[in-house]
């Protein structure tokens, strides 16, 4: 007498294969389920605006909120990076102003960059 074998579920039941009642969606169904591009762009724009508002929420009183930023990588000496970190901490502790390091660097660069001669003098040092 041979031992009885237990009935086990098949691979379709275990791994979600093309079982009964399942079928692949057609092209029309896939197209209908896609979100319109304009809605996606509007969602991304709203998210970017919220992020910009969050960045400028703790800015100094009277500061203009900026809604468009471009990411840029800047390599500096470790001492400069530490100074920016210290300035950020001082602004928060001594003045209650919460800013990002990017906001500090931008505030420093804005008045200097239009003055080409000043930039040249700084680079010559």
Domain boundaries, the chain: 23-67, 70-125
The residues, any chain, with a CB within 8 Å of residue 29's CB and separated by 6 or more, are: none
CB contact at 8 A, 65 and 57: no
Task: Render each residue's pLDDT in the chain as its tens digit; 125 residues.
Answer: 666 666 667 777 767 665 555 566 565 565 555 555 444 455 666 676 666 666 555 555 556 666 678 888 889 999 999 999 999 999 999 999 999 999 999 999 999 888 888 889 888 98
Buried b (16+ CB within 10 A) or exposed e, 79-106: eeeeebeebbeebeeeeebebeeebbbe
How many CA atoms are closer than 13 Å to the CA of 32, on its beta-carbon side? 5
Q: What is the pLDDT of residue 66?
A: 60
d(CA 95, CA 97): 5
Q: What is the dihedral of CA 20, 25, 28, 31, to 10 degrees?
A: 150
pTM for this entry: 0.45
CB contact at 8 A, 30 and 23: no
Q: What is the pLDDT of residue 122?
A: 85
């Amino acid at each position: 007498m041979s031992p009885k074998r237990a009935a086990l579920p098949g691979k379709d039941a275990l791994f979600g294969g093309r079982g009964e009642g399942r079928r692949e969606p057609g092209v029309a169904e896939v197209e209908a389920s896609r979100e319109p591009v304009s809605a996606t762009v509007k969602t991304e724009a709203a998210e970017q605006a919220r992020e910009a508002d969050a960045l400028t929420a703790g800015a100094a009183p009277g500061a203009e909120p900026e809604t468009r930023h471009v990411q840029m990588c800047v390599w500096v000496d470790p001492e400069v990076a530490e100074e920016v970190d210290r300035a950020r901490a001082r602004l928060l502790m001594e003045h209650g102003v919460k800013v990002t390091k990017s906001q500090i660097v931008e505030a420093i660069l804005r008045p200097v960059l239009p003055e080409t001669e000043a930039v040249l003098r700084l680079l010559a040092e």
